[in-house]
A = this chain, B = another copy of it.
Amino acid sequence: MKKVTIHDVAELAGVSIKTVSRVVNNESAVRENTKVKVNEAIKALNYKPNLSARNLRGTQTFIFGLLYDNANAYYVVDMQNGLLSECLDKNYELLIRPCDSHAPDIVKQVTDLIHHSRLAGLILTPPLADNPEILDHLKEIELPYVRITSGKAIPGKCEDGIFVDDEAASMHITDHLISLGHKRIAYITGDMTHESSPNRLNGHLAALKKAGIESDPALIINKDYSFESGVEGFKELLELGELPTAAVGGNDEVAAGILYCARLNDISVPGDLAIAGFENSPFSRQTWPKLTTASQPNTEIARRAAQLLIKLCRPDRSPEHDASQHCFIPELIVRGSTTADS
């Protein structure tokens, strides 16, 4: 079980270490013939390049950073898994870095991370993916990065990234409620400083408009994506007098808060009140009734992000991937919180 180095591969293949290096890095100017020989040797020895040596010597490192907000525990693990599966495959290392997006020195934290860890590229998740200061800094130092964020891929617009079309998905949710006959539909938003919140709200409003339902401003409550804000938000709705027949939460936690508050007030769900969430968090299947929601394939999203970042880092060397933008539309999942028979 000795360490296998590039020298061992070179010897077995009968070439120099530099040639092995070329094959490993998918550089041009290697005869097909020798490439095969080298690849056979690599396989035979189960050779994996030493990351430390690569990072030390190369102009580029093989380290990606993943930046995420501490609070987003639910989907972070899924994203980590997606990134890891791609990174392991392509011999990149993944450095995870939780941080507090509200910290006043957040930009400095990011700067230090990049500098000290010699990152090759960065993957940003919301809300950090939408922080203009961070983005400006990354552009300035020309560090490749991929944003995973809420929005639409805009063909021709020269910004790479992975987009989640919250607006479309949110529209589907409200469409669903409308199709069930609901007309007075409340909406409790997430943190409006996160891109996703206005997008989701807009999708809701668009669906109402499409159906010719006038939206009532009193039914739109601005909150912050937390369970507690769902509880509070619905309490405010209760004080309105006339209750809505349906309520949508900006995410599942808000929806769970609404559900909690409804139960507390003996309002039957979905009988007197239909409730929908967003994100398909694990617990959305564990409430009673289970929450109707929209599901995004976080692992797949992250895998794409990694592929894109690899492409950005080594345009010449990496195999071709599809586009430089990719857009996912979360899928409506209908459960018992909106229809009794689910």
- Report A's interface with B, CB cutoff 8 A: 1, 3, 48, 50-53, 55-56, 61, 70, 73-74, 76-78, 80-81, 84, 93-98, 115-118, 227, 253, 256-257, 259-260, 263-264, 282-283, 285-288
Nearest B residue to A287 via CB reads B287
Residues of B within 8 A of A286 (CB): 227, 253, 256-257, 260, 283, 287
Smallest CB gap from A111: residue in B: B1
What is the CA–CA distance of A114 and B143 in the complex, to the nearest angstrom?
30
Chain A: interface secondary structure?
helix
For residue A259, which residues in chain B have a CB less than 8 angstroms away from its CB?
A: 288
Q: Is the CB of A263 within 8 A of B285?
A: no
Contact B288 A263 (CB under 8 A): yes
**When the two chains form their complex, are residues B56 and A115 in contact, meaning their CB atoms are under 8 A apart?**
no
On whether A93 and B95 interact (CB within 8 A), knowing A52-B52, A288-B263, the answer reads yes
B1 touches A115 (CB 8 A): yes
Q: A70: nearest residue on chain B (CB-CB)?
A: B81
Partner of A73, one of B98, B257, B282: B282
A227 to B95, CA, bound (A): 32
In the bound complex, residues from chain B placing their C-beta under 8 Å from that of A78 are: 73
Residues of B within 8 A of A61 (CB): 52
